[in-house]
Amino acid sequence: MAIDPCTSQTLTAPDGAELTVCTHGGHVTGWTPAGGRPRLWLSPTAECGPGLAIRGGVPVIFPQFAGRGPLPKHGLARNRAWTQVEAGPGVWSARLVDDEETRKVWPHAFELELTARAQGQTLDLELTARNPSDETWSFTAALHSYFTVGDPAAVITGLGGRVAADSTGGPEFVLGEPGGAIEALTTRDVAIEGAGDPVALEDPQLGRLVVTANGFPDRVVWNPGAGHGLGDVPDGAERGWVCIEPAVLQPVELTPGSDWTGSMRLDAGGHSADS
């Protein structure tokens, strides 16, 4: 039976961890660790459909991050229907391959697969890109994760003292104090190349969420702040989330027949807000 790309499915692991997904965009829209509270933010006014990108969860950015190239912003993967490959308890995977429509935007043959697994206190996402064509192409990518913020005092650790730049370009600067935390809800849109692990969102209400990644060496931190003008984010709702985005911002070259894999682990099992 064909799945409506915009219909959500919730896949519950045996230990109670919950993963919510939809095939539009190959999108994880929700995650609740076992016995915990939801940790991914999804806009109450998110839109879904051909050409639209769901606001929240984990949009897959491929083959271009933001406006860093000639393609539409954030590329082509997030705003079209993928095909489900597997759906099981806490586990899901989906695939996107090129077709006539994608080749109008980006004239290459490609295969993209996202696998998600929720188990206990962790969520693992793995993105694989393959080049089945006979020409080399390159891409940038990100797992553009929207994390719920439950307390305005929430901070991000692991990035203080790093060299950053406005994600849309501009001079480099040092982010916060070395070893220090930065406020989660400050208006910012910064890229930190070669950021290293771990980065954590420390939220007095929700607890600690550790973000680690392989194959995504860079991190983008984004909160648009008040007066954002985003049609799919109600005024004030930007105080309920921050994006911490594992990304690969320098183009990766894929030769014919080769592939690339990047992964992200979210771990809510550090210190809970109640402990």
Ligand X SMILES: O=P(O)(O)OC[C@H]1O[C@H](O)[C@H](O)[C@@H](O)[C@@H]1O
Binding site for ligand X (CB under 6 A): 53, 66, 73-74, 167-168, 189, 220, 222, 243, 245
Catalytic residue among 24, 27, 74, 144: 144
The b/e string for 65-79 (b: 16+ C-beta within 10 A; e otherwise) is bbebbebeebbbbbb
135 is catalytic: no
User: Cβ of residue 221: shortest distance to ligand X, in angstroms?
Assistant: 8
144 is catalytic: yes
Would you state the torsion angle of the CA atoms of residues 98, 101, 105, 106, taken in this order, to the nearest 10 degrees?
Answer: 20
Nearer to ligand X, 11 or 142 (CB): 142
Question: Which residues are registered as beta bridge partners of 213?
Answer: 264
| Shorter beta-carbon distance to ligand X: residue 62 or 222 | 222
- Least gap, CB of 185 to ligand X (angstroms): 15
- Pick the closer one to ligand X by CB: 89 or 224: 224
Q: Which two tokens stand for residue 182?
A: 């930065």
Residue 83: CA count within 13 A, CB half-sphere: 9
Half-sphere exposure of 222 (CA within 13 A, CB side): 20
CB of 61 to ligand X, least distance (A): 8
Q: What distance in Å separates the CA atoms of residue 201 and residue 210, rounded to the nearest whole number?
A: 6
Q: How far is the CB of 177 from ligand X (least distance, A)?
A: 23
Q: Would you say 114 or 249 has its CB closer to ligand X?
A: 249
**Burial of residue 14, with CB atoms counted within 10 A of its CB: 0-12 exposed, 13-18 middle, 19 or more buried:** exposed
Considering just the CA atoms, what is the radius of gyration of the chain in Å? 18
Instruction: Name the residue nearer to ligand X (CB basis): 118 or 190.
Output: 190
Output the smallest distance, CB 78 to ligand X, in A.
Answer: 8
Q: Which residues pair with 95 in a beta bridge?
A: 83, 113
Positions marked active-site: 144, 245
